[in-house]
Structure 1
Amino acid sequence: MQTEMTTADRLYRDKDWIQATAGVANAGVALAIVDPDSIGWAKVASLLEDYGFIGFTAAEKDRVFDQIRANLGGDGDLPYWDSFTASATHALSTCEAITGTAGDRYILQSDRAPEAAILQEVTDLNRIVGVSPLPEWYMRGEGPPSLTGWIRAPDGRMIACANGSMRYHPQSRLAGTYYVGTVSVAPSAQGLGLGTLVTALLVRDGLRAFDATSVTAVAQPGNAPSRAMLARCGLRHDPSRATVILNRSGAFHTR
């Protein structure tokens, strides 16, 4: 009996092609279309058929909805996430100041290839708070260069985590951009500013590790806490850009 491939399986299968193609990016939980015109809309349609859902990342907001409907027949609502960006210089100085306030209250750590036990803790925490976990191969850097960060309470419990990656091709329009997301905070530790702290940790360590020129993240229009968290880390809303999901399979679920 043949087992149906998951999205993670497909992304792993295609990781070399994705890594070599400027018009797409490996987002771990979805295939991201960076430049549909460069790969052709016929190829985009084929990828949608294969994957069931695809994302159009940091797309021009005043064009992308019409483009999707004209080329792919995207009927109904197209959910989107607003883009937040900052230069590396500004974000690094802001986030260094934030992480500097942690003192001895928390243990801050990050790793480009965490051991299996850490990956399981991260995955478990993602699932507890309803965030789609990244595949372990992605967090080990077997796709794009990746950095996973986490915060532990003094008793050793992991209470927050996030991931960042250099997912964009060096010849794409997003070359040099570091992406941060998958932020999760344990229910028992929410309301303490740990979402901001773990995001600042990932921005600080990722910009240092990958020598990126800018940083980007996304937040839904109605998610005021996430938007405020990104603003505190120095990222600003770019009203001209949005990440749009076209979901034909019903399989895309994330906060």
Structure 2
Amino acid sequence: MADSENTIPSLVASAWRTAPPVLRRFAYWVWSIGFVAVTLSVIADARNWWNGLQFTTNIIAELVCGMVALPVALVIIARLAEYQVKELEQARLKTRYAAALQQMTGSAQITNDYLQELVQEVASSTNTFVAAAWVVDGSLTDPEGALESAHLLQAQMESQQWLFYERVMIPLRIEGNQLRVLLSERVNNGEQTSERLRFERLWHNLESALRHQKVTMAAGYQEFARGVPTAHRAVRLRDAALNHLRSVDQLQRYCAELAAFATPALEG
């Protein structure tokens, strides 16, 4: 069933309502002259005033037709043409949006796969450190294991590793920002969609998690750089390691949600 707002009668009525007042006054004025001309022409035709004036009658007929058609062309046909252009633009926008959505989803999936591997690595080193740095009778259960895993965790939190995060996120940011622009265009074109708010929430969560990851890595690196793990520092080191693991896991979960964003969006 056609949308009641997109039928020809509704478009004609809308075109007339939204036409500038000066244009509507012009239409009334031209139609009034045309009506008078038609009336006089009918009277003249009934009284045979047109004998031998075939050329003149043709000119008058064309002028009357022009008086009727000109306002219609200015007000209604122009609006119908504008509507057609808008429909074409919306179709192109949907095509661009679908392509951008697929590209962003691919980038998000690649980033998510990398983060999943990273979560496993960080979880392994964190679990090893937590087990080795457990304090029993005032000393670490496995000092050598704690030192080895501490060095590994420190390497996972250094600034070079953070730059690696940034490089991994670059493609996702490019595709995501492009998708945000297209979502804004859809809203500006009058589309009623909840996808923009949902995507903005996901994007905000991902960016916040990335900023939190940077702060957590810097704090953890400084904590592990203070020296050899000891029983006195064991609690702070374990907290730093666990916070790092939680931040990486949170970043991966938000990235997975962003990768899954395409499924309902494409179906919609």
TM-score range, shorter chain: under 0.3
Normalised by the length of structure 2, the TM-score is 0.21
Normalised by the length of structure 1, the TM-score is 0.22
Q: Which has the higher helix share?
A: 2
Q: Which has the higher strand share?
A: 1
Bigger relative contact order, structure 1 or 2, given CA contacts below 8 A and separation 6+?
1
Bigger Rg over Cα: 2
